Each structure stands twice: as structure tokens, then as C-alpha cells.
Structure 1
């Protein structure tokens, strides 16, 4: 399976960087063809410009500014996201990925505005590996926007049959090394069986 891994963390020595490498290694060991999209390393520009917003609904010219990224998204059969939760939301860089790439003609078809249809129907599986600084109950209290984006919004864009998994480590501010090790093993196992 062709898997697009979307990694979002600016620090190469972070726990997330370790998770990112675990994901890549495990997916490749399982025989998948992996496209590693490291948003920071590739200097992805997350800002939706004025011109892009004005042309947002102009299919197919709306894709011109981000065409190389769109080609990678359209070539994928599965998506794996690896990111931290900041301020109970997606990191700005990852939010910009969604803002700039998940547009009409790519992620959804709005030729009939009353009947918007998913366009990423070639995506069969989605997974996310996510960390939170606070406990699970606090994420639930805040509505857990990252979980909803991955498990609900992306499912709307890919179709009801898409299998979605979400792997979260909560309370990173106080988690023990043993728990981090267990989470890493859980992620490796999930990617080996992806």
C-alpha cells in the first residue's frame, strides 16, 4: 500500500521525532511504500494566501500553488499523521496543510453545492499518532478537536468505508519513561499491522 506519512514537529530530538522514525521503520518493514512528508523539514508554507483564498473555488487552477503536494496526496492509498496537540488543537503547520490542500476538486466535489461529495475516496486507511500535554479528561472537556479532525472530518472527505485509527498518549507533562516505551511499542505494532 502507498502510505503518505505526514509528520509535524519542529524539533528533531523530540519524542515525536522518535515516533516518526518508529512509524517509518514499521511501515516499511510491513512492506508498504512510504512517502515521508515532514512538513518542517520540507519548509511547507502553511499560510493560505489572499490569492489562494480568492481562487479557492476555481477548479482546477486552485491547485497550482500546491501541485507537488497534491500529487503526493492523490498518489496515496493511506495516510498516517504524527503530531503533537498544542492548545488542544492541531499545530499551525498541520492546520495549514489542511487549509491549503483539502480544497474543492481535491478533497471534495462541490459542483452541486447542495450535495457535496467526498473526492479522496482512494484513501482506504487513516491513522494518527498524537500526544497531549494534559490528561484525557481535559481533552474531552475541550472537545478534543484533533481527534475529531482525524476521525470525523477526514472520514467525510474519504468516504464512509475508510478505516480510521487514532493512537494518543495523554499527559505528556508527567508521563513516565516506562509509559512512553509502552506507547512506542503500541505504535510500532499498529504500523506493522497497518
Structure 2
């Protein structure tokens, strides 16, 4: 049986962050269990998360002049599952990750989605499962109850589903600024355990 390939999309600029600790533990865990993974490090790759005029002109042709977009598209189309590692900034995903969605998710047959009369039809059905691991200074219950639950309702239930990713789970480490070492370790263990369930 062919080994599954997992794509990690990592979105944080600071190598001493807890997000980077999550990434390090995921990579080690996947390697230890013989699972192949690819990494998209948006800040490390110096990805430009915005359109210029030429990139936007090419959008409806399903084309790009950005070599990173071409590489990312190939990785998205050949992976079996995807993991996002990102902080929550101002109640949503960071601009860098939003730019990844805006710019890389190309319209057209054989790309990430097509547009029909009734809406968007996702083409990334090869990504059988997704995990979204986030950190936040606010408590998780606040996002889910008081701020509209945007990560779940918009990023997961709308954006990822429209792209064809039907099964996604979100795990947030809230109130991180006041977290104990034990709480941080518990979250890392949760991320490691979940990353094997593809």
C-alpha cells in the first residue's frame, strides 16, 4: 500500500513561537511513524500573499507567473491530507494565510475549484482530511461563542468545504499567554495524536 502524503501549511514568522514548536513536533511525529509529508512555510518561502496586476489578469485562465504558486498547486493536488498550523490574529486567520487562499486557489478544471451557476465546486477532493491547529491569546470558548466562531464557520465550513475538503477538525490552544507548561505539553500531544489520523 502506498504511503499517504500529508501537506503541512505553516503560517508564522517567528521561529521561537509556540506555533513553531507545534510544527517541529508534527514533523518529528510524522517522520517517526513513516508518514511522508511536504511543508509549505509561507514566511520561510517569502511568499507574496497579494495579487499584482499580471497575476490577477491570469487568474481566470487558471495561470500564474509566481513559481511558488505553481509549486503549491502541485503539492495541494498530490497530497492525501492537509494540516494548517497558524495563529489566530484579530479573530481570524492571518493575512498571509488568507493571501495563500486568495492567490493559490485557482479556478479551472484540474485546479482547486470550478465556478458553476449554483456556486463553487471544489476539486481538492484528494485531501481526504484536514486538521487546523491554531493558537490564540483569547480563550477558545470566546471564539466559539462570543466572536462568531469564524474559524469554524468561515474557514472550515465554507472555504475548505468549497475547495472540496469535506472533513476538517479544528483544535485551538486558547489563552496561550497564560498557559502552563503542562497545558502546552498537552496541546502538543493532541496535535501529534491527531496528525496520525488520516
Aligned residue number for residue 3 of structure 1 = 6
Say which SS state the counterpart of residue 125 (structure 2) adopts: coil
Would you say 1:144 and 2:145 are equivalent positions? no
Q: Deviation of residue 132 (structure 1)?
A: 1.2
Aligned residue number for residue 184 of structure 1 = 188
1:32 to 31, 35, 38: 35
- Structure 2 CA distance for aligned equivalents of residues 114 and 139 of structure 1: 30
**8 Å contact kept, 1:151–1:166:** no
Structure 1 unaligned spans of 5+: none
Aligned residue number for residue 57 of structure 1 = 60
Any residues of structure 2 matched to 1:27-176 within 5 Å, and which?
Answer: 27-59=30-62, 62-65=63-66, 66-105=69-108, 106-110=111-115, 112-114=116-118, 116-140=120-144, 141-148=146-153, 149-158=155-164, 162-176=166-180
CA deviation digits over 1:36-55, x for unaligned, max 9? 11111111111122222233
**8 Å contact kept, 2:58–2:64:** no
* TM-score, normalisation: structure 2: 0.87
Say which SS state the counterpart of residue 47 (structure 1) adopts: coil
- Structure 2 CA distance for aligned equivalents of residues 49 and 115 of structure 1: 26
Shifted more, 47-56 versus 98-107: the winner is 47-56
Say which SS state the counterpart of residue 118 (structure 2) adopts: coil
Q: Deviation of residue 80 (structure 1)?
A: 0.4
Say if 1:19 and 1:115 are closer, same or farther in 2 by CA, change over 3 A.
closer
**8 Å contact kept, 1:29–1:192:** no
- Number of equivalenced pairs: 189
**8 Å contact kept, 2:113–2:123:** yes
- Structure 1 CA distance for aligned equivalents of residues 65 and 74 of structure 2: 11
CA deviation digits over 1:100-148, x for unaligned, max 9? 11121222112x3335321111111111111111012321322232233
* TM-score, normalisation: structure 1: 0.89
CA deviation digits over 1:152-193, x for unaligned, max 9? 42122115xx32121111111222221111111111111233
- Structure 2 CA distance for aligned equivalents of residues 150 and 48 of structure 1: 23
- Structure 2 CA distance for aligned equivalents of residues 107 and 92 of structure 1: 20
After TM superposition, what 4+ stretches of structure 1 lie above 3 angstroms from structure 2?
112-116
